[in-house]
Amino acid sequence: MSISLILLAFGLAADAFAVALGQGAVMRERPLRTALIIGLAFGLAQAIAPLIGWGLGLLFADVIASSDHWIAFVLLAIVGGKMIYEGFAKDPPGEESDPGKEKPARGWVLITLAIAVSIDAAAAGIMLPTLDAPVIVSVITIGLVTFALSAVGVLIGRAGARALGSQAEIIGGLILIVIGAKVLIDHRAFG
């Protein structure tokens, strides 16, 4: 396994780790189960996306490169905005404020987050043949690194939520929007 592959795997997993921190911040119960589910979703998406990118090859590279950052930004901004909105929403009467009152993403929201954090991985998939490893080894490595970092991110995010109190969900939403903005800046979307 090459150093380039390991660095690529960690680089692609960075956004998933940051999103997993936010998901951990809104978790109330079953931390290990939630960490495994989110890790699995993000890890699978990160493994499948470069395989798709590799399969599409250079034929669609320009199309992917010209819009992947906008797609990632919109998806992250929508989910982040929803988290911020819910973070500012008042608790129902008679219910105590609980920093983990919201549940982590499930269903379509989890799929949306997994897709959003793996769009860059699809574009990176085009370069898989240049690594010193078979494509299947590359996608498995990327998936496993993302799984591990995302699962740990959920657990770290949960520990941080206890310290942050009721602001954890707002901060998690802001983190998603900042990640989306960073994607735009990294791709020089504004000039």
- Residue 45 lies inside a defined structural domain of this protein: yes
Residue 34 lies in a domain: yes
How far is 157 from 28, CA to CA, in rounded Å?
A: 11
Is 149 inside a domain boundary? yes
Q: Is the pLDDT of residue 92 over 70?
A: no
> How many structural domains compose the chain?
1
What are the pLDDT digits (tens) for 16-74? Answer: 888 888 788 777 678 788 889 899 999 999 999 988 888 876 566 666 667 777 877 87
In a domain, 110, yes or no: yes
Domain that holds residue 102: 3-186
From residue 55, give the alpha-carbon distance in Å to each of 41, 48, 50, 51, 122.
21, 10, 8, 6, 10
Rg (CA), the chain: 17
Candidate from 4-13, 74-83, 108-117 with smallest mean pLDDT: 74-83
Ordered alpha helix ranges (H), the chain:
3-25, 31-56, 61-88, 107-124, 135-164, 168-186
d(C-alpha 176, C-alpha 174), whole Å: 5
Q: Is residue 83 part of a domain?
A: yes
**pLDDT of the residue at 65:** 65
The pLDDT tens digits for 124-167 are 777 676 667 788 888 999 999 999 999 998 888 887 766 655 56
Check pLDDT > 50 for residue 99.
no
Is residue 191 one of the residues assigned to a domain?
Answer: no
